[in-house]
Structure 1
């Protein structure tokens, strides 16, 4: 099938560095006679609105339309939620060219970054059908609608790191030279010394666990968070489950060792202070101590959390060369 791509482009991706790359991609696609319609985001939240409007306006039947998100993980998160919110019987497949700072979904899916856009685009154009992959859903409060994530939802350390990095001046500087992921590592170093443990609880079908001093708890769909940190080495996009990983705080030295274990070894599952659980049913996480959370790289600040999670799925236009073991 020769797809008609509707590109939703975040002009601010990578501190405008990404948009320069998009202009090259667009010119190349036009030269190759690829059917392309471009929708530019003009304000925060625009990718979600554009995706919803597009999915709502097109006939709800099988078609050759593929929605192409261009930007970072936050852009992909918004486009995904906009498409799902349209409640189509025939959902529009979602393709992605990563052009943000962290690009964790791209790592989890084995996609080429925007700096290697030509090979990644060729793989995309040769794709003939969508792959249905696992995603997660979450509900922050009982009276709020369900939202969806393709990377992770975390409370504690990872939320604080992402908030610090996103508010920093060095992230913009590093984005200019294509090293935006390093901003998360810098933020992590500063955050370590301010990290305190907090009580947390997780419960679901045949599952009830309480923790006195959690400092990082994350529900993830694939191994990566924070610009390539491998927090859940065995999580896989094509498996119908979610991975819960929790780190408990004992002392500062232990936190530093935990971070080194994640960054350089990926052997955190062997440590007593780490709990990892494969979740195949709905479950709820409770935290009541004013922590910062993050979902797909966007920070959330609440005093109390009672978040209900469940697994879901969505068709992604992933290159057929991608290994389904991911």
Structure 2
């Protein structure tokens, strides 16, 4: 009999509490499952790889219980098995992937209904390739951020206040706190983008966002037109803005109003590369990955998503 394999972020109090309640209900409903808890950063990748290697024919779906970082790791752990669906139970601070793919799954009743139904759809993913022989390619589901937001992701994930705010269900505020800290030292830079082999040069660039989905950073609608199943990536470049205008722009990002501001350029493409004069931070699904230069490509209809 096939069963669900749950990977739970053990460093996330919300994820543990959510799964504890779900577990009791699954036992009542006699839903077959197995559970695995992460112990450190990157552990979900290792667990997912072992699960798919040892139990490939027994897996109904691999379910990530946590935030975008947990989902990102689980997805990278099962990426060699595109026949295995990935599912989501919300339990993080950002929840940008869940916001798109499983926003209606709230509370035990909807979670059980989600597990009982056998529905999957094909979604796109993206590949991120950092330069250098030792750099392995990774996949992402939601978005890439290069520049200011890459720095914010890096420092937020290293902070102690993120964990405390997360317990209070105020995880998004952690990114806002870090933003103002990073702005004290961050300097915009020139960037060269190649989008489907067409070159674009921008100066005083604060950030470049590449979205397979509209959101990142805990609900910021950075690429409003991005769709997870259209076979294309959306690109947003924020450049040539004063600090004051950038802060005003930041507020409007939560509803997508920033796209109408001068200094925000938008593109769409399937292959994107970004080069800079100095190394600039990169995040994928909110997880710091390294620095530029980087190449990014879309993988159309590559992921079976449990819905």
TM over 0.5: same fold?
A: yes
Distance of 1:216 and 1:204 partners within structure 2: 16
How far residue 64 of structure 1 moved from its aligned partner, in angstroms, is 5.8
- How many residues end up aligned between the 2 structures? 304
Q: Write the deviation string for residues 139-191 of structure 1: whole angstroms up to 9, x where unpaired.
A: 11252332100111111111122223223333222111212122112222333
Distance of 2:252 and 2:41 partners within structure 1: 36
Question: Structure 1 stretches of 5 or more lacking a match?
Answer: 319-326
Tell me, yes or no, if structure 1 residue 104 matches structure 2 residue 105: no
User: Which residues in structure 2 correspond to 1:100-249 (within 5 Å)?
Assistant: 100-112=92-104, 116-141=106-131, 143=133, 144-249=135-240
2:55 matched residue in structure 1: 58
| Root-mean-square deviation (Å) | 2.0
Q: Write the deviation string for residues 21-40 of structure 1: whole angstroms up to 9, x where unpaired.
A: 21111111111100111122
8 Å CA contact 1:5–1:67 kept in 2: the answer is: yes
Distance of 1:206 and 1:100 partners within structure 2: 37
Question: Structure 2 stretches of 5 or more lacking a match?
Answer: none
Q: Write the deviation string for residues 86-114 of structure 1: whole angstroms up to 9, x where unpaired.
A: x33x621111112111111111224257x
How far residue 46 of structure 1 moved from its aligned partner, in angstroms, is 1.4
Distance of 1:43 and 1:64 partners within structure 2: 24
Tell me, yes or no, if structure 1 residue 282 matches structure 2 residue 271: yes
TM-score normalised to structure 1 length: 0.86
Give SS of 2:171's match: coil
1:322 matched residue in structure 2: none
Does the C-alpha gap of structure 1 residues 59 and 259 become closer, same or farther in structure 2, counting only changes over 3 Å?
closer
Distance of 1:185 and 1:59 partners within structure 2: 41
Distance of 2:95 and 2:125 partners within structure 1: 16
Pairing partner for 2:304 from 302, 305, 315:
315
